[in-house]
Amino acid sequence: MKAYVIGDYINTKQLAPVDRPDPTPGPGEVLMKVRATGPNARDFQIWTTGTAMGPPPSERVVCADNAGEVLAVGEGVTNVKPGDRISTIHYNQWIDGPWDFEMRHIDHGQTIDGFMQEKAIVSAEAVVKLPENISFEDASTLPSAGLTAWNAVVATGQVKAGETVVTIGTGGVSVFAMQWAKMLGARVIVTSSSDEKLAKMKELGANDVINYRTHPEWSKQVMELTGGRGAEAVINNVGTSEMDQCLESCASCGRVMFLGHSPVSSDREARAMPPLLRLPLLIIKNIDIRGVIVGSRKMYEDLINAVSKHNIKPIIDRVYDFDQANEAVAYMASTDKIGKVVIRVN
Ligand SMILES: NC(=O)c1ccc[n+]([C@@H]2O[C@H](COP(=O)([O-])OP(=O)(O)OC[C@H]3O[C@@H](n4cnc5c(N)ncnc54)[C@H](OP(=O)(O)O)[C@@H]3O)[C@@H](O)[C@H]2O)c1
């Protein structure tokens, strides 16, 4: 079967296509025929700069996003059978309950192979069945950006109808955050570097939009738009450079959901981290800052059920064929896209 591995990406700017023998599922494992995957900023960071886990080996198959069909199951697997449509979380030990730091050691696309391959071995415990009304391409966008935004807005963020939510940028995580917040009946303010993208976000449901390039102190616009009250939840998927604006944008007892730690698009220099002059706002506004890491299988089940019930369509900018994987990665890393980029595998 064909797979794409990190190879010498740093120097070649190309993932390396390789041939691999078909894998066989062991006890508790499932063999998935991968139908769709796609690159995320997070995957890109893993194979270019490495993470706290250190750089993965060059033979690692990339990408956490996935959707596919069960081809075979290993000994003891009873929750799925050949032919079932499935998708899996990428930190595959986080089934339910709170996150444990030790779970970081098993991560598809980082410490174990990801899904830019025709067949993949997954843990039966970590898979979720896909309803018929969610296509493989749509489902494949959900395990990383979709689930992280779900955790930030729904599971941990506890956004309520009538609250105001701010999302930064128009990438995978932030567009999903808008979709989940709208599903809950919240008002959403979206920022972007591009007026063209902001116009598109309005068409997609944003209530209000702010260009963060023409308004670097965009919290002032948030305060104006909310009559001086501020937003109940601010989704910070960019990192420390935007933290001061996030804190300034918060309403009393608001929360900042912190889930990005670096500038995301290559052409955008992150502003230097400002001195945390705004930290006293934590006290006077009684603000919570909460770190968010993707989500559990239980959260993923809740997400899939909601997408199916409300017929929510992930915003997919482009779909590429498997042999165009490197073009898909280059487009994902560009500043042009809105939402997600998908690779149709087979
Ligand atoms: N905590 C977790 O578990 C977790 C999971 C997944 C992802 N993440 C992190 O979340 C971040 C976003 O991921 P993604 O997949 O959504 O990325 P993405 O699709 O590349 O989107 C990022 C968007 O952020 C905006 N942006 C880029 N640089 C910016 C800057 N300096 N200041 C303000 N906005 C900026 C851009 O919007 P415009 O083009 O509209 O300006 C860009 O489209 C990444 O850092 C990723 O590592 C964390």
- Mapping DSSP to helix (H, G, I), strand (E, B) and coil, where does residue 294 land? coil
Domain assignment present for 193: yes
Residue of the nearest CA to atom 8 in ligand 1?
Answer: 260
What distance in angstroms lies between residue 260's CA and the mean position of ligand 1's atoms? Answer: 7
Judge if the beta carbon of residue 212 lies within 6 A of ligand 1: yes
pLDDT tier, 52 (very low <50, low <70, confident <90, very high otherwise): confident
**Average predicted confidence (pLDDT) for the chain:** 94
* Position 181 pLDDT exceeds 70: yes
Amino acid at 86: I
* Same domain, yes or no: 142 and 177: no
Ligand 1 atom index nearest CA of 170: 40
pLDDT tier, 346 (very low <50, low <70, confident <90, very high otherwise): confident
Domain assignment present for 252: yes
Judge if the beta carbon of residue 257 lies within 6 A of ligand 1: no
* Same domain, yes or no: 52 and 83: yes
Find the CATH number of the domain harbouring 191.
3.40.50.720
* Same domain, yes or no: 254 and 204: yes
* Same domain, yes or no: 265 and 183: yes
* Same domain, yes or no: 195 and 135: no
Single out the residue of 72, 107, 62, 98 nearest to residue 326, CA to CA.
62
Domain assignment present for 151: no
Mean pLDDT of 26-39: 98
Structural domains counted in the chain? 2
Question: 103-150, pLDDT tens digit by residue?
Answer: 999 999 999 999 999 999 999 999 999 999 999 999 999 999 999 999
* Same domain, yes or no: 72 and 99: yes
Q: Which of 148, 173, 293 to mutate to test ligand 1, by most ligand atoms within 8 A of the CB atom?
A: 173
Find the CATH number of the domain harbouring 308.
3.90.180.10
* Same domain, yes or no: 285 and 304: no
Q: Which of 247, 262, 291 is where one domain is finished? A: 291
What distance in angstroms lies between residue 41's CA and the mean position of ligand 1's atoms? Answer: 7
Domain coverage including residue 83: 2-146+294-344
Question: 284-332, pLDDT tens digit by residue?
Answer: 999 999 999 999 999 999 999 999 999 999 999 999 999 999 999 999 9
* Same domain, yes or no: 182 and 280: yes
Domain assignment present for 283: yes
What distance in angstroms lies between residue 306's CA and the mean position of ligand 1's atoms? Answer: 24
CA dist., res. 131 & res. 253, Å (int): 38
Ligand 1 atom index nearest CA of 169: 37
- Give me the sign of the Cα torsion angle 336, 235, 223, 181: positive
Domain assignment present for 194: yes
Ligand 1 atom index nearest CA of 198: 40
**Calculated CA dihedral for residues 140, 146, 150, 152, nearest 10 degrees:** 150
Domain assignment present for 176: yes
Residue of the nearest CA to atom 19 in ligand 1?
Answer: 171
Q: Which helix (H) or strand (E) holds 168?
A: strand 164-168
* Position 266 pLDDT exceeds 50: no
